[in-house]
Amino acid sequence: MQEDSAITVCINDTIARLPELRFKKPVSWILHKGEQWAVIGPNGSGKTLLADIVQCRTAIEQGDVIFGFEGKASDLVRSIAFKDVYSLADYRNSYYQQRWHATESEDMPTVRELLSGDENSVDYQELLTRFDGTSCLSKKIIYLSSGELRKFLILRTLLKHPRILILDNPFIGLDEGSRKLLVEVLHSLAQLNGLQIILLLCNPADIPDMVTNVLSVKDRDIIDSSTRQDFLNNEKLISDLFVSETSNGIVLEEPALPVNADRLSSDHDVTFRMEHIHIKYGKRTILKDLNWEVRNGEKWLLSGPNGSGKSTLLSLIYADNPQAYSNTLYLFDRKRGTGESIWEIKKRIGYVSPEMHIYYMENVPAVDIVGSGFFDSIGLYRTCTPQQFQEAKKWMSVFGIEKLERRLFLSLSSGEQRLVLLARAFVKDPDLLILDEPLHGLDVTNKKKVGQIISRFCTRPGKTLIYVTHYPNEIPKCVDKHFELIKHT
């Protein structure tokens, strides 16, 4: 095939060498100059595998990948995914709770130190301004919130001037203002610098106006290629992609949740109470004179912009942050620091968050990850009893991931990993459920399914819920109280 000056990338009947990386049929896809693409499909549909082919990360047995520009694909085709935080040296060599231990993170680099580029250049300053990144320059990378971390990864990649930028679910973890800002920045970059963008998405509602074309994938098969408008007008295609359900009203069977006959309803009065909480790292004040009481059985929304301290607040409740001892905090009717162990607290809490997901690098079977919820460990360091093992399998079935039981955790897509971690949070029938962006990276059907599971679980007596999201439409109907944080400058 001769190169076409109007073609950026031509994938021609490619078949991956390894069977586990193959699509059902040989992959063919052409990207023309000026096109901005969204690759859309449910969790586990093959979007990431397709991105790996574009980046020449997959060994090819048949076919070829031809680029319409000179240079190495590794230099000119860049990608950003949620898991890319693993590549940061400080995260590779750190552990989950270390983020909250200031004395153990003194050697961690700052955002400024990790950004490559001339601070005096026009590009650097323009990108920094557009992403509101100046305030983060002096922050140690380990202290960035999930949303701030996502913006940092995008900014760092754009400073390398790629020709093609692949973004895997880029809007998750960003508040509404940051999502709008990201769309504006990508739109202007695509127009002014000739940058072509490929978005990997699992929700039709996330397709921004800047996208010109949509590639639909499902079950490792390319289903359709069309313009953005034709895709959005094709209700049947969208319905077929997401298991015959649409984003306007998915009808699923009411989930039947496992019942732990040995688990009694908690009779505590106050789930937690915070009095005049003050958290500071160096010169940065995260939480200031904060008061909040949550009583047994209440259902709360915790909200606030990226960087407002939501993760820090939750780390106090989950007994990960040592500054809890220098503040007045009650958990389950007992004041912190009066002799209770961390594990006594954690055994009553089910927790999932983007931060926990970042650090979960244990490449063990998915069922073992779910089972680790019984012991509140990052990874399974104790062996489940036969009864616990069966309980873990039951919760995997509830979340529709029973077929992933023996799959290694790091081989799963980010959406599949999130479902595994959600099953882990529920497995011990906790008194307090803390769900920080629980629908992070899930497709339309899985969002609906997980929402139903949360609502059904919360009908059980003595269940308290703290729910965090930047998407109002994702708030469970059972939530009737609201606590909002402000961002301290």
Note whether 280 and 387 are same-domain residues: yes
Q: Assess if residue 196 is contained within a domain.
A: yes
Decide: 210 and 183 in contact? Cβ < 8 Å.
yes
CA within 13 Å, CB half, 309: 23
Note whether 81 and 134 are same-domain residues: yes
Note whether 56 and 203 are same-domain residues: yes
The gap from C-alpha 41 to its chain's centroid, in whole angstroms, comes to 17
Q: Which is it for strands 328-331 and 299-303: parallel, antiparallel or unpaired?
A: unpaired
Q: Assess if residue 164 is contained within a domain.
A: yes
Note whether 157 and 196 are same-domain residues: yes
Q: Assess if residue 253 is contained within a domain.
A: no
Which pLDDT belongs to residue 93? 44
In 314-431, beta strands by DSSP E: 328-331, 334-335, 349-352
Question: Measured at the alpha carbon of residue 203, what is the angle toward residues 200 and 206, in degrees to the nearest 5?
Answer: 80
Q: At what angle do helices 414-426 and 444-457 cross, to 10 degrees?
A: 10
Note whether 329 and 233 are same-domain residues: no
For residue 10, give the nearest of 43, 46, 54 by alpha carbon: 54
Note whether 281 and 189 are same-domain residues: no
Which pLDDT belongs to residue 52? 92
Model pLDDT for residues 80-130, shown as the tens digit of each residue: 876 665 455 444 444 444 455 554 456 677 888 888 666 666 677 877 777
Which pLDDT belongs to residue 73? 80
Supply 366's token pair: 């998915």
Note whether 453 and 339 are same-domain residues: yes
Q: Assess if residue 252 is contained within a domain.
A: no
Which pLDDT belongs to residue 92? 44
The gap from C-alpha 108 to its chain's centroid, in whole angstroms, comes to 23
Per the structure, the complete domain to which residue 410 belongs is given by 270-484
Which pLDDT belongs to residue 84? 64
Supply 440's token pair: 């992070």
Note whether 295 and 151 are same-domain residues: no
Q: Assess if residue 130 is contained within a domain.
A: yes
Which pLDDT belongs to residue 137? 82
Which pLDDT belongs to residue 247? 40
d(CA 410, CA 459): 33
Count of Cβ atoms closer than 10 Å to residue 111 Cβ? 24
Local structure of 66: helix, strand or coil = strand
Q: Note if the pTM is more than 0.85.
A: no
DSSP 404: G
Supply 243's token pair: 């298991």
Positions of the chain with pLDDT under 70:
1-5, 82-107, 116-122, 131-132, 145-147, 192-193, 243-255, 261-262, 359, 378-381, 489
Supply 379's token pair: 């990874």
Supply 410's token pair: 């790091």
Note whether 221 and 322 are same-domain residues: no
Note whether 329 and 455 are same-domain residues: yes
Distances (CA, A) of 420 to 52, 248, 282, 423: 23, 26, 36, 5
Note whether 60 and 133 are same-domain residues: yes
d(CA 258, CA 25): 39
What amino acid occupies position 166? I
Model pLDDT for residues 169-196, shown as the tens digit of each residue: 888 777 788 788 778 777 777 776 678 9
Decide: 426 and 454 in contact? Cβ < 8 Å.
no
Note whether 224 and 348 are same-domain residues: no
CATH number at residue 68: 3.40.50.300
Would you mind telling me the total number of residues written for the chain in this entry?
Answer: 489
Q: Assess if residue 263 is contained within a domain.
A: no
d(CA 337, CA 339): 6
Supply 443's token pair: 């497709």
Alpha-carbon torsion angle 79, 82, 85, 87, nearest 10: -50
Q: Assess if residue 254 is contained within a domain.
A: no
Model pLDDT for residues 335-380, shown as the tens digit of each residue: 988 877 888 888 899 999 887 777 677 788 999 999 999 988 765 5
In 282-370, beta strands by DSSP E: 284-295, 299-303, 328-331, 334-335, 349-352
What is the number of structural domains in the chain?
2
Q: Assess if residue 247 is contained within a domain.
A: no
